[in-house]
Every structure is written in structure tokens, then in C-alpha cells.
Amino acid sequence: MRDRNYFLDLNDLQFKQVSLPWRIRIRRLLFWALASVAVTFLYVSLFHHLFGSPKDKMLQQELSNMKLQYSMLGRQMDQSVEALSRLRSSDDVLYRPILDMDSIPESLRNPGFGGVDRFMDLYGYTNTGLMIQYRARTEEIKSRTNIQIESFRSVEERRNEWKREMEYLPYISPVNPIYRLGDGVKFRERHPVLGTPQWHHGQDFNTPYGTEVHATGSGKVIKAGWSSGGFGNFVVIDHGYGFQTTYGHLSSIKVSLDMNVKRGDLIGLSGSSGTSSGPHLHYQIDLYGQNRNPLHYFNNDLSEEEYFEMIQTLSSRLKLR
């Protein structure tokens, strides 16, 4: 029980409670109010320091979750960088050398960034440094990915062109390789018919009369008929890419002018027309008007069965198209 002060009133000889002045009462009330506020503030501060408020706990939890997500994102970025490095290695070491393409310069693969600050919108946050770091890595990966996509597009275009080129260039023998080879590219001191010295610009095949002659590559027939230059019945095919092939001394022509032919198509039968000493095929390859040795453009080690299997395969592909 709170202590109370009393005094003896001599007038009526009774004890009476001491009554404090209002000023003192107000001071005491203010003191206790201030003391209560101070104690409350101290308690709240100590509680927040030790345990934190529910809102602070929620924010801390969100911050921890965000850091975890950034960590997982960092691992995914590392995996993406490794994948891009493998793609670049395949591009530079495998695809481009095979297709005879130059490597992409380092300045294009790793372009710099300049100009205005790209990260101004990220300033002022608690984790500004972390956010800028991952934004920069994201932009780097995006840039490298776009460059790699464009590189593979050019590789794909070159592959398609290379595939077409392989189809058009004269890369097989015009006749069954079982037939003995005659004179090749050389200077002949005496022509077997004319008796004069002159160059022989092709490869002769000693074939029986009526042997099938096949186009050695896809292309367009630019000459088909009689030659006044000694080839007799002959065919000339333009394969593009600077290549032309000539088939001379034919007994019969199976194609016509401006006709498109595919590799392996029958274009004529061998014979002895024109300036010829006997049945054979004269086969000639010219690259941009310069004579080339035909033996450098096909494999002469095929057996008869392998050769006709190749011709049948080529013909079957054409029918499927």
C-alpha cells in the first residue's frame, strides 16, 4: 500500500492526510509519464535489436531469398557461358575450317560497351553492386549468343552452298573405270592421226564403241553437236564455279542444248567421231579456261560393281527429288 503522510490538526485534534499542492502533483505526473515513455522506448529498442520487428524479419527473409535466387542465377549463367564456349570452339575449330571460312575476329566476339551509364536505374538499392554485376553478365551472354547465332547462320549458308558445289563439281569418272586409260594431259610429239606435235588437253579412255558416258557433275549443257575442232560429236557442260567439262568423239548424244543434267546422267555413247584413230572417249576439265588434269578429280580405284552402284544411287536420288 502506498505510503501516505498525515499531520495532527490541533484545532480539532484529528489526524489529517497531507495534501500536496497542484504544482507538485503535476510535476510528479509529468515525471512518471516521461519515465514510462523512456522505459517503453528502451524496451522497444532493445526488443528490436535482439529480435527485430515482424516487418524487418519479413524484409530480411525476402533479402535472403533474393540472394539465393541471384546465386542460382549465377550458376545458370556459368553454365550458359560454358555452353557458349563449347559452341565457339566447334565453330572456330570444326565448322569454319572445314568450310574454308575465316574465324570471327575477337573484336566482334567480345565487343565493348560505351556511352551513357547503362545501370543508372539500379543505383540507390541495398544490393546495387550485385544487381549491376548480374545485369552486366546478362548483357554479355546475350551479346555473345546473338553473335554465335549469326555465325551459325553464315555457316549454314556456306554449308548449303558447299553442298551444292559438291553436287555440281566434276568429281566422278565419266565411264566405267575398268576401261584402260589412254593418253592424259601432256605434250604429244606426234598426233596419232594428224602426225603433228601438239598438246593433249584431256584424258582419253579406251572404251569400246557405244560405251555409256555419264555427266561427272551437275550442270547445264552449253554445247551439244558436231565440233569443227576435231572432237566430232561432243558435249560441253557448264558446272558453275568456273568449271566446264568436255566429252568428245561420241557416237551418239543423249542430251540437248540448254538441258540441265545431274551427276551420273547418261549424256552420250562413246565412239570414234571427229579426228580419232579408234573408239575412245576424250574427257577434259577446264577451270576458268585453264586446263586441269581430270585424274585429280575422281577416284579411279572403283570396281565395275562399285561404279555402277554409284551411278544407280545417283539416279535413284534424282528420281526421289
Residue 76: pLDDT band (50, 70, 90) is confident
How do residues 185-202 score in pLDDT, each as one tens digit?
Answer: 765 656 565 556 676 778
Backbone angles phi, psi at 274, to 5 degrees: 80, -155
Average pLDDT over the chain, rounded to whole? 80
Among 5-19, 41-55, 111-125, 148-162, the range of highest mean pLDDT: 148-162
pLDDT for residue 208: 94
Query: With 0-12 CB in 10 A as exposed, 13-18 as middle and 19+ as buried, what is 70?
Result: middle
Q: In the structure grid, which three cell numbers stand for residue 24, read together? A: 507538485
Amino acid at 136: A
Co-location of 107 and 34 in the same domain? no
Q: Which of 23-27, 44-48, 119-123 has the lowest mean pLDDT?
A: 44-48
Task: Considering only residues 309 and 264, tell me which one the structure prediction assigns the higher pLDDT.
Answer: 264
In a domain, 143, yes or no: yes
Indicate whether 158 and 204 sit together in one domain: no
pLDDT tier, 53 (very low <50, low <70, confident <90, very high otherwise): low
pLDDT > 50? residue 78: yes
In this structure, the answer to whether residues 157 and 194 fall within a common structural domain is no
All cell numbers assigned to 128: 546495387
Q: Which stretches of the chain are DSSP H helices?
A: 22-50, 54-89, 96-98, 106-109, 128-168, 304-320
Which of 49-58, 105-114, 202-211 is least confident?
A: 49-58
Q: Is the pTM of this model over 0.85?
A: no
**Same domain? 154 vs 234:** no
What pLDDT shows up at residue 123?
74
In a domain, 181, yes or no: no
Strand 260-261 and strand 186-188: the pairing is unpaired
Rounded-to-integer distance, Cα 134 and Cα 140, Å: 10
Q: How far is CA 32 from CA 21, 55, 298, in A?
A: 17, 31, 111
Last residue of a domain, one of 115, 138, 168: 168
In this structure, the answer to whether residues 280 and 238 fall within a common structural domain is yes
Residue numbers of the domain that contains 70:
54-168
Position 215 pLDDT exceeds 70: yes
> Averaged over 90-95, what is the pLDDT?
84
Residue 81's Cβ-count burial label (10 Å; 0-12, 13-18, 19+) is middle
Whether 192 and 257 map to the same domain: the answer is yes
User: Are residues 217 and 128 located together in one domain of the fold?
Assistant: no
Q: Is the pLDDT of residue 283 over 90?
A: yes
| Burial group, residue 91, by CB count within 10 angstroms (0-12, 13-18, 19+) | buried
Give domain status of residue 120, yes or no.
yes
**Residue 177 forms part of a structural domain:** no
Domain count, the chain: 3
Domain boundary (138, 168, 198) is at: 168
Of 105-114, 129-138, 258-267, the range with the lowest mean pLDDT is 105-114
Say if residue 1's pLDDT is above 50. no
Domain identity same for 194 and 141: no
126 vs 139, residue with greater confidence: 139
State how far the Cα of 196 lies from the Cα of 152, in Å rounded to an integer: 57
Per-range mean pLDDT, top range of 8-12, 137-141, 202-206, 227-231: 202-206
Tell me, yes or no, whether 150 and 209 share the same domain. Answer: no
39-48, 123-132, 278-287: segment of lowest average pLDDT: 39-48
Instruction: Check which CATH number belongs to the domain holding 257 and give it.
Output: 2.70.70.10
Rounded to an integer, the average pLDDT of 174-178 is 89
CA–CA separation, 306 and 285 (whole Å): 23
Answer yes or no: is 1 within a domain: no
The region of weakest confidence among 54-58, 129-133, 287-291 is 54-58
pLDDT band, very low/low/confident/very high, at 77 (cuts 50, 70, 90): confident
210 and 93 share one domain:
no
41 and 65, same domain (yes or no)? no
Residues 124 and 37 in one domain: no
Q: How many CB atoms lie within 10 A of CB 215?
A: 25
Say what percent of the chain tops pLDDT 70.
77
Query: Average pLDDT in the 131-138 region?
Result: 80
More confident residue, 166 or 121: 166
- Would you say residue 301 lies in a domain? yes
175, part of any domain: no
Q: Is residue 215 part of a domain?
A: yes
- Among residues 134, 168, 202, the one where a domain terminates is 168
The confidence score (pLDDT) of residue 189 equals 56
